[in-house]
Amino acid sequence: MPVAAPTDELLALHRQMLLIRRFEEASAKAYSQGKIGGFLHLYIGQEASAVGALANLGEGDAIVGTYRDHGIALARGMSPRACMAELFGKVTGCSKGLGGSMHFFDAEKRMLGGDGIVGGHVAVAAGVAFASKYRGRKEVTVCFLGEGSVSIGGFHEALSLASLWALPLVVIVENNEYSMGTPLSRTLSVHDTSQKAHGYGMASDRFGTSDVLEVKRRVGEAVARARETSKPTLIEVQTYRYRGHSMSDPGKYRTADEVELRKKTDPIVKAEADLRAAGVSDADLARVEAEIEAEVEDAVRFADESAEPGEELIEAYTYA
């Protein structure tokens, strides 16, 4: 892989973060227009987590996420058209309209969902890592979850096995401070979730997500550890979501001032400031913005114009 100049690298990461934010804003709008049903969990504010983390992965590496999976999917390079079409429930969606917002899959990109059961997916991710080790391949699996997932048993069983069997797994807890509407102070006795690693003898790390390059570098260390030594790592990224848990969340559990304060450490704002400082012009940034807007508009149009899945798909995939 050629070494990119720091500015080029940041430009690429900034573009991905901006794509996620504009995609999510368009999703929210489509939801309010009734074009998206069910649950819609937005990633706005957390973009640097997936973008920085997944910048370290290669083709053979795998990803397992929770229901807040749009940002992870886009950061992995999944098509915005297929993702938006999935939200619209269309047959052109990444899961043919059978999965929905919580269940984005892409076999080619090795994106294994989009899982709607908190904690249960961590063991699945450990299984993907187990398979890499079983086959003697130097692949890494990255698993995303929220801090609301670290109290449930599945998380602990998966960590226990991943460490016992030395699986090439990186578990990233996106600590956005709220487990749905319940703040950290009422869900966890120890607020630093990376400390859960100690009981399992796992490596751990903890850092914020305001600087996407720093996220990339720190997760990169864990990915290298997994790839080279087949040792798992538990990482807590300290992040924040600006929107509610889902679209039906009025956010009465926190103040508008708190949200505004947290926007001051926004990763996209920081990336743009750093790019300007490195000599990228406002015109260049405006061009990126325009390109992303066009890409998202295209995705929405594609989703809107795509066909509904036919009735024949109800049972078609029940059995192989």
- Residues near other proteins (CB under 8 A) are 62, 64, 93-99, 103, 105-107, 112-117, 120-132, 134, 153-154, 157-158, 160-161, 164, 315-320
What whole-number distance in Å separates Cα of residue 243 and Cα of residue 22?
A: 13
Give 127 or 208: the residue with its C-beta nearer to other proteins: 127
Contact assessment for residue 235 and residue 219, using Cβ atoms and an 8 Å cutoff: yes
CA 186 from chain centre, in angstroms, equals 25
User: What tokens does 255 get?
Assistant: 């103040």
Least distance (Å) between residue 109 CB and other proteins: 10
Q: Nearest distance from residue 135's CB to other proteins, in Å?
A: 8
182-183 and 178-179 as β-strands: parallel, antiparallel, unpaired?
antiparallel
Amino acid at 187: T
Closer to other proteins by Cβ: residue 98 or 280: 98
Closer residue to other proteins (CB): 273 or 314: 314
Only one residue has tokens 């809107």, namely 304
Nearer to other proteins, 17 or 74 (CB): 74
Residue among 2 and 136 whose Cβ is closer to other proteins: 136
C-alpha closest to that of 48 among 239, 196, 203, 283: 239
For the chain, counts of helices (H) and of strands (E): 11, 9
Question: What value, to the nearest 5°, has the Cα angle with vertex 210 and ends 68 and 87?
Answer: 20
The bridge status of strand 105-106 relative to strand 111-115 is: antiparallel
Least distance to other proteins, CB of residue 166, Å: 13
Tell the smallest beta-carbon distance from residue 62 to other proteins (Å).
7
Q: What is the C-alpha to C-alpha distance for residues 117 and 173, in angstroms, rounded to an integer? A: 15
Q: How far is the CB of 96 from other proteins (least distance, A)?
A: 3
* Shortest Å distance, C-beta 34 to other proteins: 23
- Nearer Cβ to other proteins (62/170): 62
